[in-house]
A and B are shown apart, each in its own frame.
Chain A
Amino acid sequence: MESVLKTAFPFVVITVAVLIAFQMVLMIVAYTVLAERKILGWIQGRIGPNRVGPWGVLQPFADLLKFIFKEDLVPDKSTKFVYFLAPMVALTCALMPMVVYPFGPRLTDPVGAIAPWLTWALGWIPWIGSSVVSGINSAAEWLQPQALNMPLTIAQIDVGVLFVLGITSVGVYGIALAGWSSNSKYSLMGGLRSSAQMISYELAMGASVIGVVMLSGTLDLNGIIQAQITSPFRWFIIPQFIGFFVFLISAFAETNRVPFDLPEAETELVAGFHTEYSALKFALFFMAEYVNMFTVSVMCTVLFLGGWYVPGLEPLARLVGLGEYVHSGTIAYALISHMAFIGKICAFLFFYIWVRGTLPRFRFDQLMNFGWKFLLPVALGNVILTIVVVFFLNR
Chain B
Amino acid sequence: MFAGLAIASAISMVYHKNPLYSAISLVGVFISLSCIYVTLAAPFIAAVQILIYAGAIMVLVVFVIMLLNLDDDKPLNRLRYLYALGGGLGVILLAQTLFIFYAVMKAPNTPADQTMTAGKTLSLGRAMYTEYLLPVEIVGVLLLMAIIGAVILARRLSQPQLELVVEHELELEHKADH
Interface residues of A (CB under 8 A from B): 79, 81-82, 85, 157-159, 162-163, 165-167, 169-170, 172-173, 176-177, 179-180, 188, 192, 195, 199, 202, 218-219
Asked if residues A169 and B20 are in contact (CB atoms below 8 Å), the reply is: no
Q: Which of A177, A192, A195, A219 contacts B121 (CB 8 A)?
A: A219
Asked if residues B56 and A159 are in contact (CB atoms below 8 Å), the reply is: no
Q: How far is the CA of A162 from the CA of B48 in the complex (A)?
A: 7
Q: How far is the CB of A89 from chain B (nearest CB, A)?
A: 9
Q: Which of A85, A166, A195 contacts B50 (CB 8 A)?
A: A166
Q: Which of B20, B21, B55 contacts A170 (CB 8 A)?
A: B55
Q: How far is the CA of A195 from the CA of B59 in the complex (A)?
A: 9
Of A85, A162, A195, A218, most buried by chain B (CB within 10 Å of CB) is A162
Asked if residues A192 and B66 are in contact (CB atoms below 8 Å), the reply is: yes
Q: Which residues of B contact A159 (CB under 8 A)?
A: 43-44, 46-47, 121
Asked if residues B56 and A158 are in contact (CB atoms below 8 Å), the reply is: no
The total of interchain contacts (Cβ-Cβ below 8 angstroms) comes to: 71
List 8 extra interface pairs beyond A169-B54, A173-B59, A195-B59, CB under 8 A: A162-B47, A163-B47, A166-B54, A170-B27, A172-B59, A173-B58, A176-B66, A177-B20
Asked if residues B56 and A199 are in contact (CB atoms below 8 Å), the reply is: yes
Q: Given the interface contacts A81-B21, A199-B56, does A158 sit within 8 Å of B44 by beta carbon? A: yes
Interface 1/0 per residue, B1-44 and A, CB below 8 Å: 00000000000000000101100100100010000000000011
Q: How far is the CA of A120 from the CA of B54 in the complex (A)?
A: 53
Of B21, B51, B63, most buried by chain A (CB within 10 Å of CB) is B51
Asked if residues B55 and A169 are in contact (CB atoms below 8 Å), the reply is: yes
Q: Which residues of A contact B55 (CB under 8 A)?
A: 166, 169-170, 172, 202
Q: Which residues of A contact B54 (CB under 8 A)?
A: 166, 169-170
Q: How far is the CA of A163 from the CA of B35 in the complex (A)?
A: 12
Q: Which residues of B contact A219 (CB under 8 A)?
A: 121
* 11 A-B pairs whose Cβ atoms sit less than 8 Å apart in the complex: A166-B51, A170-B31, A172-B55, A172-B59, A176-B62, A176-B66, A180-B66, A192-B66, A195-B59, A199-B59, A218-B121
Q: How far is the CB of A201 from chain B (nearest CB, A)?
A: 13
Q: How far is the CA of A195 from the CA of B58 in the complex (A)?
A: 12
Q: Which residues of A contact B107 (CB under 8 A)?
A: none
Q: How far is the CB of B116 from chain A (nearest CB, A)?
A: 12
Q: How far is the CB of A204 from chain B (nearest CB, A)?
A: 14
Q: How far is the CB of A364 from chain B (nearest CB, A)?
A: 16
Q: Which of A162, A173, A180, A195 contacts B51 (CB 8 A)?
A: A162
Asked if residues A82 and B20 are in contact (CB atoms below 8 Å), the reply is: yes
- Chain A: CB-nearest residue to B60: A199
Q: How far is the CA of A202 from the CA of B51 in the complex (A)?
A: 10
Q: Which residues of A contact B76 (CB under 8 A)?
A: none
Is B152 at the interface (CB under 8 A from chain A)?
A: no
Q: How far is the CA of A177 from the CA of B66 in the complex (A)?
A: 9
Is B82 at the interface (CB under 8 A from chain A)?
A: no
Asked if residues A167 and B63 are in contact (CB atoms below 8 Å), the reply is: no
Q: Given the interface contacts A81-B21, A172-B55, A180-B20, does A158 sit within 8 Å of B43 by beta carbon? A: yes
Return the 8 tightest CB-CB contacts between A and B, nearest first: A169-B55, A162-B47, A166-B50, A166-B51, A159-B47, A180-B66, A158-B43, A159-B43
